Amino acid sequence: MRQAHSVEQVRAAEADLLATLPDGALMARAASGLATAVIDLLGGAYGRRVLLLVGSGDNGGDTLFAGALLARRGAQVTAVLLADHPHAAGLAALRASGGTTCPAAGFTPPAGLDVVVDGIVGIGGRPGLRPDAVAVLSRLTGLPMVAVDVPSGLSVDTGEIDGAHVRADLTVTFGTHKPCHVLYPAALHCGAVVVVDLGLDLPEPVLEVLQPADVAALLPVPAPAAHKYTRGVVGLRTGAAYPGAGLLSAAGANCGLAGMVRHVGPDEVGNQVRAAHPEVVLGPGRVQAWVVGSGGGEDAGTELATALADGVPVVVDADALAHVRPTPGAPADPPLVLTPHAGELARMLDMRRDQVEARPWHFARHAAREFGAVVLLKGRRTVVCDPDGRTRVTTTGTPWLGTAGAGDVLAGLIGALAAAGLGPYDAASVGSWLHGAAATRASADGPIVATDVARALPGVVRDLRGQAQ
């Protein structure tokens, strides 16, 4: 499991570790890891031209000591000093190793630079950058950028953007991921992220990112004596406004993870579902989870009420989301998984879409508490929030997944996982991971449609099972 920790958690863990180490030992570890990452990026150090952007505090110290190590390996290192009082020992080490410095005022980039190292602001900095830093960065456009711990100017704990910031090609972070490394929109500006292990003893993370082994461990697997009913029955209640959505929801549910799929809806939709998926059973009956809302229509509220009366978990999508009522301070009964995109969540919270897109984690957590439900906010980095505060971020997927009907496939898939026995939080986060992985598999870096994603799901599950055995 990849984990992300808050600034407060990291600072506390660093303080505990510092109490057991000689002075400078922790910074030496960080600087060594940073220098190694820069050398790996460049394919060597000798003769390379490296520019350091150095702010104050420990972040500047890490950068200066890494620069000293690079200079000793034969790199030509220049540091632009963006602080009145840079880290004294780091500055001395850089100069002793043959590195040079220059002020920010009137800065002109040296010729032939191979890489720029952003050590302007560390994890304790506020969002945005000072004008002098912005002026220096404006003269470095197009050069490879390595950020130290986090790209300067981003909101570390929220993943939000407020003001000027660095856009990194590589971020070398220390001890653990931070929220900005995995949450959009900030993650878009972190590039590849490398974690340097500092030996920190960290608490429970504020964010989790599932990895293939985690998903494989959570997948529902039939017992030796299983049959279709013990494996779970997922029910679909879809509308006639967009009958294709019902078909796609059925395709996601009919991926094989549940024992049976049952469809309840208008005859014209049911007949199309049966023609496309002859395994699906039409008509009411007992289920272990419902999926409601795909296909929309005026009856979405009635269909939701009927599904809720069964007392089993309900995945609420599309038009049905407008009929979910808040239960602040109390869990929804029965359990709900809400699957809005940013526009739908904005309507549910009486906000603007751009507000939700700028602060996805904030509003997904707020909605999870407000509705007492697991909230899966769809996006390039889908966020899954539980009312108890837990959050998982999905990093699988491809921009080609932004296609009509993909959300209907996802809703059906989550319903199948819930019917097969996963709790709402696991069903939503595992479903999102599988959905993204299937899209990547189907796409092969080319265009896809939603049915391609559904068809790829069994292959993704088989691969995961094979890796786990």
Residues 186 and 234 occupy one common structural domain? no
- Rounded distance, CA 169 to CA 158, Å? 20
Count of C-beta atoms within a 10 Å radius of residue 465: 12
Residues 35 and 89 occupy one common structural domain? yes
- Rounded distance, CA 236 to CA 358, Å? 33
**How high is the pLDDT of residue 398?**
96
Angle value at C-alpha 243, between 352 and 377, nearest 5 degrees: 30
Residue-wise pLDDT tens digits, 140-157: 999 999 999 999 999 999
**How high is the pLDDT of residue 20?**
96
**How high is the pLDDT of residue 125?**
85
| Residue 276, H or E segment | helix 267-276
Q: Give residue 316's region: left, alpha or beta (phi > 0; psi -120 to 50).
A: beta
| Low-confidence residues of the chain: pLDDT under 70 | 468-469
Residues 124 and 174 occupy one common structural domain? yes
- Domain span including residue 455: 212-468
**How high is the pLDDT of residue 297?**
80
| Residue 60, H or E segment | helix 57-72
| pTM of the shown model | 0.94
**How high is the pLDDT of residue 310?**
96
CATH number at residue 7: 3.40.50.10260
Domain finish residue from 166, 190, 208: 208
Residues 303 and 390 occupy one common structural domain? yes
Grouping H, G, I as helix, E, B as strand and the rest as coil, residue 76 is: strand
Order the strands of the 192-196 sheet from edge to edge. 100-103, 76-81, 49-54, 115-119, 145-148, 170-174, 192-196
- Rounded distance, CA 313 to CA 295, Å? 20
Q: Look at residues 304, 327, 337 and name the one whose alpha carbon lies nearest to residue 418.
A: 337
Residues 225 and 280 occupy one common structural domain? yes
**C-alpha torsion angle, residues 92, 93, 94, 100 (rounded to 10):** 40
**How high is the pLDDT of residue 268?**
87
Residues 10 and 67 occupy one common structural domain? yes
Residue-wise pLDDT tens digits, 339-386: 999 999 999 999 999 999 999 999 999 999 999 999 999 999 999 999
- Rounded distance, CA 151 to CA 170, Å? 9
Residues 218 and 170 occupy one common structural domain? no
Residues 163 and 299 occupy one common structural domain? no
**How high is the pLDDT of residue 152?**
97
Residues 130 and 89 occupy one common structural domain? yes
Number of structural domains (the chain) is: 2
Q: What backbone torsions phi and psi does residue 109 show, to the nearest 5 degrees?
A: -60, 135
- Helical residues (DSSP H) of 309-449, grouped into ranges: 342-349, 353-358, 360-371, 406-419, 424-443
- Rounded distance, CA 18 to CA 186, Å? 29
**How high is the pLDDT of residue 109?**
93
- Please state whether the peptide bond connecting residue 284 to the residue before it is cis, i.e. omega within 30 degrees of 0: no
Give CA separation, 31 vs 63, 99, 118, 269, in Å.
7, 15, 13, 62
Domain finish residue from 208, 236, 267: 208
Beta bridge partners of 314: 290, 336
84 and 111 in contact (C-beta within 8 Å)?
no
DSSP state of 53: E
**CA count, 13 A, side-chain hemisphere, 376:** 26
418 and 315 in contact (C-beta within 8 Å)?
yes
- Rounded distance, CA 409 to CA 438, Å? 11
Residue where the block lists tokens 């999508």: 317
Residues 55 and 152 occupy one common structural domain? yes
**How high is the pLDDT of residue 241?**
85
